[in-house]
Structure 1
């Protein structure tokens, strides 16, 4: 689970403990990956699976982030919500294999 703030983190910790999933879920605070390849954080959990995880603040609501994940097999996925255009996200997500841009129309 990749989360942007402590409130969500506490919720996931509570739910995972109640449901008995606490040993199956790893919480990664997305703020610790901002603009950098936090190799120490990734190596401690997913060194054989994830090569790079970069979070990008986006223009949407408070604590809104997009994520670019490059896997060990060089597959690159870019995920964002229905945010405004963002040059940093465009640069970091360039040449991704899969772009997921969630949008909800009411």
Structure 2
């Protein structure tokens, strides 16, 4: 879901810490934890473990937050977070080969 939204975007700097929405802040924390976890346990098993921990915060984020906010800086902050989450598998797994991805 994250990848589909940001697929056509150029690289964005991670600026989500400027977002005050609780769901965004929770997702940012989950992303940072997942990234650290992958760094500690590189490879497919580390990736799958980290991604599984992101499921609930991602679902909550999409349920509670309007990604395409009217305020451009807020929209960019949210898109940057999704882009960084979508990039977690880079160098470990090519998820684009999965059907529907």
TM-score by length of 1: 0.28
Structure of greater relative contact order (alpha carbons < 8 Å, 6+ residues apart): 2
Q: Which one has a larger percent strand, Structure 1 or Structure 2?
A: 1
Q: Which one has a larger percent helix, Structure 1 or Structure 2?
A: 2
Which of 1 and 2 has greater Rg?
A: 1
